[in-house]
Amino acid sequence: MTFPTLSSLLFRRPLVAPAAASTATSLTRRAFHNTPLKMSAKLKPAARVSGRRQDVWSIINEAAAASPKQPIVNMGQGFFGYNPPDFILNAAKQALDKVDCNQYSPTRGRPRLKQAISDAYAPHWGRKLNPDTEITITTGANEGMLSAFMAFIEEGDEVIIFEPFFDQYISNIEMPGGKIVYVPMHPPKEGGTKTLSAAEWTIDFDELERAITPKTKMLVLNTPHNPVGKVYSREELQKIADLCLKNQIIILSDEVYDRLFYVPFTRIATLSPEVEKITLTVGSAGKNFYATGWRVGWLMGPPDLIQYVAAAHTRICYSSVSPLQEACAIGFEQAEKENFWSTCVTDMQAKMRRFNAIWDELGLPYSEPEGGYFVMANLAKVTLPDGYPFPPHVADRQRDFKLAWFLIQELGVAAIPPSEFYTDENAHIVADYLRFAVCKDDKILEEAKERLRGLKKYIQQ
């Protein structure tokens, strides 16, 4: 299936003022809008946004809307089911009263936020980053990464990403003409029968080295990892860094879950001054402050890299939302005093434990997360009923899509099929897994568990 065509948007006639419109005209108008129009080839959308197969989010939303089990318990998408703490919310409200906070911010971000980031990261970085040259603020981590690709990728340059990947990387790399080279993370062999640490998802470093060519310009790393929950070890990071140094590859280290780690967390940029020189590190206020809708992110790295990311960001959206940058600055300034960072970890770990108790109860294994707020459960032991009526666009996907559809229809629980984050070739690797987001209220987690108990009759131990 493809996205709906843009024809209805492109061919909309000027509307008659509502007061003057007769019932007959509005009926005609409605009929007009519902009739697909043939679009002239000249007006067709660019390939980069058209003709993609239906994405996981719309399949899951469609399944949720069609399910008889309303309301659905949404454990799918990674947004928080609760608000940022008051000290951050109040900072946002007060920012709206300040004249300068309602106007353009400097293209590289508000000085107060860059200073606050420099101060907040210093204990992890071992030094204070220069807020003017080593930090640039972006419209969420996602636009920051788009800016990084726009800044460094020319047509035909290759970018290595690990599977499973955060889905936005794909179009962000393809837009400037980059060619993606995929290297799979391998789940533990016993993942279908045993609960094991997410650390057991591994990279085959020979496979990684074979993926490097003279055209490899960048490598994207994500730690703590979505959806696996792995925090790359220092040794693994060193091997990746050595390969990148040897082959002069820019590392884009997506560390948006950098305040949610349950084992020691190393930032690849801090391994050595040489590695720091080739690394761009990505952060997200959305993930740090439970505010994914605020769209504030940042990239940190050496001035030689950051200046071009900032230049691309200026072309893409000029500057990022001002009052929420101010609120994030205050968030960083006050977080330690409010004990916020340690509360984040304790609270999320408690949610993980609370939710994962259901897998232990059902005898279904999962990957024990080392960071982030996602858990991958393995449902290999769940038998889907023969002849279950899956719609065609689900029937022709991996088993994880069928599992997700089944859970929504039969139990009213939404989860994400992770094969969406793999190439077709490697999608089978996660055919038995589903990703659940635990950043939800405890009562939602309890409701999800109660519903998941309905799986018992489909499980073969």
Ligand X SMILES: Cc1ncc(COP(=O)(O)O)c(C=O)c1O
Comparison of 143 and 410: residue with beta carbon closer to ligand X: 143
Q: Which of 252, 256, 300, 413 binds ligand X (CB under 6 A)?
A: 256
Provide φ and ψ at 186, rounded to 5°: -100, 125
Contacts of residue 37, defined as CB under 8 A and 6 or more positions apart, other chains included, come to: 7, 8, 11
CA angle 370, 371, 374 (to 5 degrees): 105
> Least distance to ligand X from the beta carbon of 405, Å?
22
> Least distance to ligand X from the beta carbon of 79, Å?
8
Q: Tell me: does residue 300 bind ligand X (CB under 6 A).
A: no
Is residue 121 helix, strand or coil?
helix
String of DSSP letters for 260-280: -BSS----GGGS-HHHHHTEE
Do residues 297 and 144 make contact, with C-beta atoms less than 8 angstroms apart?
Answer: yes
Tell me 454's DSSP state.
G
> Least distance to ligand X from the beta carbon of 390, Å?
27
Nearest Cα residue to 392 out of 382, 404, 402 = 402
Comparison of 11 and 182: residue with beta carbon closer to ligand X: 182
Amino acid at 63: A
Comparison of 142 and 279: residue with beta carbon closer to ligand X: 142
Q: Tell me: does residue 254 bind ligand X (CB under 6 A).
A: yes
Q: Which of 109, 164, 178, 297 binds ligand X (CB under 6 A)?
A: 297
Q: Tell me: does residue 284 bind ligand X (CB under 6 A).
A: yes
Write down the residue that tokens 């420099």 correspond to. Answer: 118
Comparison of 223 and 409: residue with beta carbon closer to ligand X: 223
> Least distance to ligand X from the beta carbon of 367, Å?
16
> Least distance to ligand X from the beta carbon of 421, Å?
10
Do residues 102 and 323 make contact, with C-beta atoms less than 8 angstroms apart?
Answer: yes
What's the burial of 392, exposed, middle or buried (CB within 10 Å: 0-12/13-18/19+)? Answer: exposed
Specify the stretch interacting with ligand X by CB under 6 A; choose among 82-90, 124-132, 284-292, 299-307: 284-292
Q: Which of 109, 286, 301, 369 binds ligand X (CB under 6 A)?
A: 286
CA angle 237, 136, 249 (to 5 degrees): 35
Write down the residue that tokens 């399949």 correspond to. Answer: 59
Specify the stretch interacting with ligand X by CB under 6 A; choose among 66-74, 108-116, 137-145, 334-342: 137-145
Contacts of residue 457, defined as CB under 8 A and 6 or more positions apart, other chains included, come to: none
Q: Tell me: does residue 78 bind ligand X (CB under 6 A).
A: yes
> Least distance to ligand X from the beta carbon of 189, Å?
25
Q: Which of 118, 226, 356, 419 binds ligand X (CB under 6 A)?
A: 226
> Least distance to ligand X from the beta carbon of 282, Å?
7
> Least distance to ligand X from the beta carbon of 286, Å?
4
Interacting residue ranges for ligand X, rule: CB under 6 A: 78, 140-142, 166, 222, 226, 254, 256, 284, 286, 292, 297
